């Protein structure tokens, strides 16, 4: 019996319905007892289309009670401990207030306004300052747990939130590879004037986490000329866009062969950044910016499994952009299952 198994309460039944004790999947572990710590960050200030991703961490928590704990790719993996950090209750109301200011900026720009207007500049300063503070919070909290020997997974929130964790992991593992599953390239510089926009996460990661050795992007199908130029001129960026994945399938290449090509471009230590809209929209119909195409649930899971089966190690991850609907828990249901798969594959070392 492992040390972690000894910490399992005798009255915990992994076969019983999950009990919402404030921990994802109803796990009976504190963060201190766990090998993997989940870090909920309910933040969506710069979401530029649909909203609701700040409600993702809580919605995924509720849906996770329905996830059976047996995982075919790592049976018993949960016994190593999956802990949940207590959510900072100040983040959601702060995100909601600042989002209203950000929406005013977006509306003004969409109607032909300029980012140089005083009206816009005041709001940009407030939002950008708050984003810097959030990044510092995520960095500091993530580093604390990584320094204690834990792995960390962030549950967003929009895709701007994991920058601090990416910085921590790139410092810890120079040459780190990021596997980026997404519908969007996220390589825009200060999109709409917001330095830390959700549309800029990978641009900022490349700029502010210099330890990143490669950025392998899978399923991308929405991008602009500026992003293509950034990808072309930065040798660390490797793209497997959606149209090329489709062409390979239509030409008869198996998904296994495609996944092998993707995995070959990754180094030994891998950080997974999973935007739920990397999946086809039938899996996440309410995500902020859905795009036709994308990976099936099974294709995404198979790719993640191939990463680990290749001998590579997932050292951290984020799951972002899950946006629940008031009368439909499907998005959260899919998100909870992607989250559990990420947890078990991260624990499989």
User: What is the tens place of the pLDDT at every residue in 156-174?
Assistant: 999 999 999 999 999 999 9
Assess contact for 295 and 179: CB atoms under 8 A: no
Mean per-residue pLDDT of the chain: 95
User: What is the tens place of the pLDDT at every residue in 271-328?
Assistant: 999 999 999 999 999 998 899 999 999 999 999 999 999 999 999 999 999 999 888 8
pLDDT at position 47: 82
pLDDT at position 49: 72
Which two three-digit tokens encode residue 304? 């993640």
Mean pLDDT of 250-267: 98
Residue 334 has pLDDT above 50, yes or no: yes
Residues 46, 103, 288, 86, CA torsion sign: positive
* pTM for the model: 0.96
pLDDT at position 216: 98
Distinct helix (H) and strand (E) counts, the chain: 11, 8
Q: In sequence order, what are the beta bridge partners of 231?
A: none
Mean pLDDT of 24-44: 97
Q: Which residue in the block uniquely carries the two structure tokens 């509306």? A: 107
Element (H, E) at 180: strand 176-181
């Amino acid at each position: 019996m492992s040390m972690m198994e000894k910490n399992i309460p005798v009255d915990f039944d992994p076969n019983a319905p999950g009990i919402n004790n404030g921990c994802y999947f109803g796990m009976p572990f504190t963060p201190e007892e766990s090998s993997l710590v989940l870090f909920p960050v309910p933040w969506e200030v710069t979401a530029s289309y649909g909203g609701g991703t700040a409600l993702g961490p809580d919605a995924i928590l509720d849906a996770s009670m329905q996830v059976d704990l047996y995982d075919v790719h790592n049976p018993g993996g949960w016994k190593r401990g999956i802990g949940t950090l207590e959510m900072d209750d100040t983040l959601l109301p702060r995100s909601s207030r600042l989002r209203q200011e950000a929406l005013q900026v977006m509306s003004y720009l969409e109607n032909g306004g300029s980012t140089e207007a005083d009206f816009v500049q005041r709001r940009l300063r407030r939002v950008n300052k708050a984003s810097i503070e959030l990044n510092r919070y995520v960095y500091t909290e993530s580093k604390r747990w990584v320094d204690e020997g834990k792995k960390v997974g962030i549950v967003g929130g929009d895709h701007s939130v994991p920058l601090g964790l990416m910085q921590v992991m790139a410092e810890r593992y120079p040459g780190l590879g990021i596997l980026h599953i997404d519908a969007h390239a996220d390589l825009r510089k200060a999109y709409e004037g917001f330095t830390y926009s959700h549309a800029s996460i990978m641009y900022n990661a490349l700029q502010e986490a210099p330890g990143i050795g490669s950025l392998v992007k899978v399923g991308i199908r929405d991008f602009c000329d500026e992003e293509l130029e950034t990808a072309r001129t930065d040798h660390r960026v490797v793209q497997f866009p959606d149209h090329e994945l489709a062409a390979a399938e239509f030409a008869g290449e198996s998904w296994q062969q495609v996944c092998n090509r993707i995995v070959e471009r990754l180094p030994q230590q891998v950080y997974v950044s999973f935007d739920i809209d990397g999946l086809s929209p039938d899996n996440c119909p309410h995500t902020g910016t859905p795009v036709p195409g994308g990976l099936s649930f099974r294709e995404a899971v198979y790719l993640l499994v191939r990463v680990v089966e290749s001998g590579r190690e997932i050292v951290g991850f984020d799951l972002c952009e899950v946006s629940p609907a008031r009368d439909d828990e499907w998005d959260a249901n899919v998100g909870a299952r992607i989250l559990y798969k990420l947890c078990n594959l991260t624990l499989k070392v």
